[in-house]
Structure 1
């Protein structure tokens, strides 16, 4: 889209939102035509930026919602999440914040989903989930969508989402934790890595028939999953996972 005859608006995208734009439009103000009755959300996504990546929109210096109807000559500034200061009083783009941090990951985010569960976050994942099901879970359960699919983040039902830029699970975990400021919310080893259910403490007598020979002689603390029946103990695999979490996000909170 290039500026031409008819109503136009000028746009400026900030920080990482520029990653979604063609190089000629990054980190600069540009003008483009606006359709009749075009909303802020429609234009932002038409320019390539998923609305879930946007935290604040200013039109001629005033905070507006995604439903703001654009008019000829308006100046639109679009911002991602702010790290340096609290802009809560300015926000207009969403009806409410999420009360709990819960995720749903798309089919390509299985490794990240497992690590988020390891860190204690409620994370739904099934490689058979299609976009419609993921959008439904986001809308009905208040979950943050994790994906590298921009089209999924542009679905109307998706109110909260995170476009994951990193390619490998440990780096993806670091990115999500840093971006959403989750370090203080981490509770490692409180969820089942396989089915996402909460774990509970279990006695040696309870898990006797469910662990390999010799485990009861070497270990005395166990966690059981009532969802899928798995048992966890602080063996070498546990210590490797603990070390991995510590290397990705130093000093997480521990239950």
Structure 2
């Protein structure tokens, strides 16, 4: 007994090389659910949008009949965020976390959490877990998650913005701890500044959570470019109506 699998192009990176085709067949015991079949191929269910059996949309708990044709689509982009949901990033995505915070996106991150802790925190805090660990996305207790495509922070950020089009508020969050930034008078932070910084800059912000001080310094042009590109991407991807 077999099933015919037709994966969308965007799902083929999760498949073994011999199966990275528009259609292939897999053995089937006649009892396993569609969700089990999909994950046994290496595809996290978080990465599947509509799945059909012989052309009929169905859920992951349904068991297909032997010989069925299974078509797997990727989630639509932009994918709607649950109301008020932020992100939680795993240990390998620290630079991406700082980029998202730069853009004002609510982003939790810790470099010392294990897989079970991440899944529990995502569920308890109602955060979407972003990771490049497929096994993590296949954990049954995971509330919501997504695989981040790309090997560098620029590509990863572009992928997350394209997929979710989250609302942006640049320069409003601390890149170190995710706390809110508020403007402060220069005199209030002068004792924490190097002499050259006190001389050159007049506008400052401070994190209400960790107290870190920010100003638009020498690296500002590079960050301005990141912000401009992000605003353009989200503007183009945000749902209308």
Q: Tell me the TM-score range normalised by the shorter chain.
A: 0.7 to 0.9
Secondary structure at 1:244 match in 2: helix
Query: What residue is the counterpart of 2:138 in the other structure?
Result: 154
Partner in structure 2 of residue 136 of structure 1:
120
1:247 Cα deviation from its structure 2 partner: 4.6
What residue ranges of structure 1 are gaps of 5+ in the alignment?
Answer: 1-5, 89-96
User: Matched residues in 2 for 1:212 and 1:250: separation?
Assistant: 35
Structure 2 gaps, min length 5: 236-241
TM-score between the two structures when normalised by the length of structure 1: 0.82
Structure with the bigger RCO (C-alpha within 8 Å, sep 6+) is 2
Q: How many equivalent residue pairs?
A: 235
Measure, in 2, the Cα distance between the counterparts of 1:198 and 1:211. 20
The counterpart of 2:58, out of the listed 59, 64, 86, is 64
Q: Deviations over 1:135-162 (max 9, x none)?
A: 1122222222222211111111224222
The answer to whether the 8 Å contact 1:138/1:160 transfers is yes
Distance 1:174 1:251, change over 3 A: closer
Deviation at 1:227, TM superposition (A): 1.1
Query: 1:70-105 CA deviation, whole Å, 9 max, x = no partner?
Result: 322322211112349x9x9xxxxxxxx511342111
1:222 corresponding residue in structure 2: 204
Match of 1:93 in 2: none
How far off its partner does 1:132 sit?
A: 0.7
Question: C-alpha deviations, 1:8-66, integer Å up to 9, x for none?
Answer: 32221102101111233223222323335411211100011011111111122222222
Cα distance in 2, alignment partners of residues 157 and 102 from structure 1: 18
Could you say if the C-alpha distance between residues 252 and 213 of structure 1 is closer, same or farther in structure 2, counting changes exceeding 3 Å?
A: farther
The answer to whether the Cα contact below 8 Å between 1:246 and 1:252 also exists between their aligned partners in 2 is: no
Comparing 131-140 with 241-250, greater Cα deviation is found at 241-250
The answer to whether residue 12 in structure 2 is matched with residue 18 in structure 1 is yes
Q: Deviations over 1:112-131 (max 9, x none)?
A: 11111111111111111111
